[in-house]
Every structure is written in structure tokens, then in C-alpha cells.
Amino acid sequence: MVTPVQLFKCLSDETRLQLVMLMQAEGELCVCELVAAIEESQPKISRHLAQLRNCGLLKDTRRGQWVYYGIHPDLSDWANAVLRAAAGADSARLTQLQNNLKAMPDRPVCC
């Protein structure tokens, strides 16, 4: 169970916050989708995803050649409320990230 201090430390980086906001809104996404949406390098995105997973905010699932990341299903109600509030407070940035994702060519199709 993530504590408030752990949650806010994990979200204190802009890239990690954007990743979590996007997954809160879109559900599970693979690394290539997150790279396209955030417009950062794959190594940087992967490093931040590992940190978020270690914090207990994300879970990962392998499906064929893709690894999908999503908000951990056991995340507490209060933590989910914080993530929703963050997305609502920066809705313009979230919309931009979602538009980047929609514009991604050759987006992987899962399940």
C-alpha cells in the first residue's frame, strides 16, 4: 500500500506525473505509445515506468512482444482520487497527450 509521502515523491517528476495521468485516462498503454504521447526517448520513459512500478503505482503485463503498463488495480481510493484530481487540474496537458497518442502511426493493437 502506497503512503501519501511515497505517492507524492513518485509524482514529483513531470514525466512520471504525465505518464500516470495518461494511463489514468486511457487505461493500459505500451511503452511505444507512451513514448509517442509524452514525446521523450524510450530509455527515459522506461526508467520512469520502472520507478512508478517500484512505487506500487503501476502494474505491467506482457502480451506477445508488448509490455503494457497501467494503474495498479490495488491502488487505494484516495490515491486514485489524487490521480484524477491531477488530471483534472492539468486537463489541457492531458488533452495534448491524448492527441499525441491518437496521432501515433502504427499504434499497436492488443487483444
Residue for grid cell 509524452: 38
Which amino acid, residue 79?
A
**pLDDT single digits (tens) 12-52:** 999 999 999 999 999 999 999 999 999 999 999 999 999 99
- Take residue 83 and report the three cell numbers written for it: 490521480
Residue for grid cell 487540474: 89
DSSP letters for 11-25: TTSHHHHHHHHHHHH
Q: pTM above 0.85?
A: yes
Domains of the chain: 4-101 (1.10.10.10)
Percent of the chain clearing pLDDT 90 (strictly above): 81
Q: Is 111 exposed, middle or buried (0-12, 13-18, 19+ CB in 10 A)?
A: exposed
Which amino acid, residue 27?
G
